[in-house]
Chains A and B, each alone.
Chain A
Amino acid sequence: MKIGWILPDRRQTGTLSIDWGNRISPLHQEFDLRTIPRAFTLGIPEEVIARTAEKARIFSQVARLDEGGALFAGSIEAGTDDGGRVVVLTLIAQLHNNETLTADCARQIFVPASEKEYGEKLREVLSKDLLSQDSDLSSMLVAVKQFPLLRTFASERLVRTANPPDWMKKKIFGNGHCAG
């Protein structure tokens, strides 16, 4: 498992950076972005932020990659940028085949020095949600195991997205089956 943090672009530079713990690089240089399914958002869709009044709630996603393995992302609101816009801190984990994120593992994740407050908050919520069977995150991870042929999963229902994930919480499939 390789862990990185996509840092908020607080100065509106237009380039998001990823902190690997020992180095920080531009996000677009670290991933072949064409291989990441479009439904996997590197952050939080606006509609989720708009309807989430509750603070310290994370938006989680999983994407199975063509070349094997998967990506997990957990994102949290991280204050505002220089222009007053809400920005997001995202934990991204590159998982090997059949590897999953556990609460123990989450507790040991490093926190980026520049985003200590929000990093610790995200880590705390993530650990708590991974332990709780009722959390949206746990429901999503159950679905990941339950539907091995689906590629993309999200812990929130997305209505406005142009690239809907294959599985969303409370998504109704064509056969009327409610998967969430």
Chain B
Amino acid sequence: VTVRWAFPSIGSFLTLWRSHSRRPRRAGQGQRRGTGTRDAAAGCSGPTTVFSHSSSAFLTSDLVHAFKRARVGTSNEEKQEKMSWNKLFFTVLTTVVGNIAKKGLDLAPEFLTKLRAWWTGKTIAVIGPTAAGKNSLFNRLRKLPIPEKHVQTRGAEKVANFEISWPMPDNTHVKFRCRKSINIGGEIDERERYWLQACQNADVLFYLLDSSKLASSQKTTIARYQDDMRWLVANFRELNPSIAVHILLNKVDITLGSWPHDASATKLLTTQVALIEGHAKEMLGDYFGRVTGITPISMENDFLFGKYFTQALGAVANRRQS
């Protein structure tokens, strides 16, 4: 399927940009680098999905045009922030899938219908190491407020069926329901007891990894990631034969810090994506074909989450349909 991913209309883009959350991250969840404008920078980013091997990798020039148009009426600093953030993801994408042809997304009505049909009624599972953002992802998807009290998840907890609203380029939304999801903890003992239960009925498996921990303690984070990939290989036979695995590299806002991002921040994110892609290939072997992509994301920022998660959904549906 040849697809062309178009950015939402400039009107919705600006609305989202203006209204995106500037909620500060909780103390202890990560340190900001520098002061001030990280959220503003984050809020101006465009969607990017980094595909590990998909022939349908995409990032559209429409996004660039949208940014160019959005610059009207903003200060020079804001313009630079927006372009900087956008360029950064272009760099990451180019580095990882530079040799893969970028195809456009043809969001024809029939294709949207297919996407809607594919996602409707799908069951998702969310797994990942401790404090990778699994709870936050479920809260995001269910449009629940960020709880005042964050709790280490223990045991397996049913997640009420919920509906995901997926914004389309024509300002409409594709809505689909997720059912029978289970929220689980990320500790090793919890993985051994509950992850399989959470994944067994899933059509799509989101694996979350903390980008900021990858930056601060790479050795232990990669060791755990490899261990989880081994767990996946050992349990794939128990899972839905057509299950898709999508890796979400969470907390990239912390990794990159405040704008302006220096060259080292860009390089760091690029390296991280390449690293987790490389280890996934190595550890999953033939099962690597189940991986639909690696998407940088932030659960803390409304705009970033909306855009990038939508891209992840598109990537999964596109990959599974092709």
Contacts and interface: CB of A to CB of B under 8 A. Distances in A.
Q: Which of A9, A14, A162 has the most CB of B within 10 A?
A: A14
Interface in B180-232: 182-183, 186-190, 192-194, 197, 220, 224
Interface in A13-48: 13-16, 26-28, 31, 33-34, 36, 38, 41-47
Interface stretch (A85-93, A102-110, A167-175): A85-93
A3 interface: no
Nearest to B135: A46
A139 B208 CA distance: 40
B69 interface: no
A36 B183 CA distance: 19
Contacts of A176: none
B149 interface: yes
B237 interface: no
A179 interface: no
Chain A binding surface, main DSSP class: loop
Contacts of A38: 156, 193-194, 197
Interface residues of B, number: 31
A14 B152 contact: no
A84 interface: yes
Contacts of A132: none
Contacts of B152: 8-9, 43, 81, 85-88
Nearest to B223: A14
A28 B130 contact: no
B28 A41 contact: no
B193 A83 contact: no
A41 B155 CA distance: 5
A4 to B, nearest CB: 13
B156 A36 contact: no
Nearest to B128: A14
Given A83-B150, A84-B150, A26 B188 contact: yes
B158 interface: yes
Contact of A14 (B130, B147, B154, B194): B130
Contacts of A135: none
A77 to B, nearest CB: 9
Contacts of B156: 38, 161-163
Interface of B: 26-29, 129-131, 147, 149-158, 182-183, 186-190, 192-194, 197, 220, 224
28 contacts: A8-B152, A9-B152, A12-B131, A14-B188, A14-B224, A15-B188, A16-B187, A16-B188, A36-B193, A38-B197, A42-B154, A43-B152, A45-B155, A45-B157, A46-B154, A49-B149, A49-B151, A83-B28, A83-B29, A83-B131, A83-B150, A84-B28, A85-B152, A86-B150, A87-B152, A161-B157, A162-B182, A163-B156
